[in-house]
Amino acid sequence: MKTDNSTKKKDSVKKERREKKEKLTIEKRILQLSFLGSVLFIVAEGVMAWFTHSHSLWTDCLFDAADLVMIGPFLVLVPLLYKPVTEKHPYGYAQVESLFLLVKYSVLLALTCNLMVENIKLLLHGGHEVDAGSIAIFELLVCLGCAGMYLLLGHYSKKYESTTIKAELYMWKLDVISSMGVAVAFAVQMILLTTRFRFLTPYIDPAVAVIMALLLIKEPVKEIFQSIKNLILFAPEKDVLNQIRGIVDKHMNDYPYEVTFLDVIQTGRKLWVEVYIGNKTDVIHISILHRVRDEIKQELKYKYDQVYIEIIPD
């Protein structure tokens, strides 16, 4: 019996290591593809922005460039996120990911605000003319390219989707929407040139840049607050707590224990759950505690990436 339990435990450890290795491979592949795709589009946008002097293209290019600068170091960081916790690093490197995301989105927020202010100044000074036809065609091609990249990364992310992968997918989704919006805006400018409203055309480019900045500003603000919460080890959102409590209570109903306190910490992609239990008798069965811990972990791991469960007698 003891040998069977030992064998099962070894198999479970091997399976967990195998799953971590597969996740690491998928995440590195997605980040590498995203990095290469970003380089290609940034070069194209930069060249086009230089030739056309379009502020909306510069806004898109600089936003993508800031994101690209952050992907490079993260490719080095990713393997550390899969290292096991130790006495020296009790939370592993999960908080490094939260810190990284905080820096990344702070840079994006600062850049977006600066671009918005500059383009508002340009609007107040009469705007400027650009080659609307060339920009509309270029942005339509960029939109199609970004959509292809989004679908490709989405295909790989079906097997595994970490916080970082979600952030990359979000950035490509934004690129699709913003490129389409810019293409439509400059197509409208071409139409306006043939009407009595042609006096509005100098304002189209800076106005599009300001609208893009306003749309892009929401995500950095949201992620900055979330990263700060993760860094100072706040409990996750209420719906997450309720979901975890429901799962814990469901499994505890099968055993002679009751939950007296639930301590949940989420930092980066890792979730720590400490379940404090009261006992209806004076006897604690370690084997039962291990069993209920494994049951809870098994259910939670399908909803959260890296889960750590402890059952603690109160």
- DSSP letter at 53? T
Residue 253: C-alpha distances to residues 239, 260, 288, 292 (Å): 21, 13, 13, 10
pLDDT at 231: 80
The residue assigned the tokens 């810190």 is 99
Instruction: Name the 3-class secondary structure at 281.
Output: coil
The span from the CA of 204 to the CA of 127, in Å, is 8
Domains of the chain: 2-231 (1.20.1510.10), 238-313 (3.30.70.1350)
8 A C-beta contact, residue 77 and residue 100: yes
Cα–Cα distances in angstroms (integers) from residue 168 to residues 34, 139, 271, 280, 300, in the given order: 7, 20, 21, 49, 24
- How far, in whole angstroms, is CA 240 from its chain's centroid? 17
Residues 6+ apart with CB under 8 A from 131: 52
SS3 call for 38: helix
Mean pLDDT in each 10-residue stretch from start to end of the chain (314 residues)?
54 65 78 86 90 82 76 72 67 73 84 84 83 88 92 80 74 83 85 86 84 81 84 79 87 82 79 82 77 85 78 81
**116, 210 in Cβ contact below 8 A?**
yes
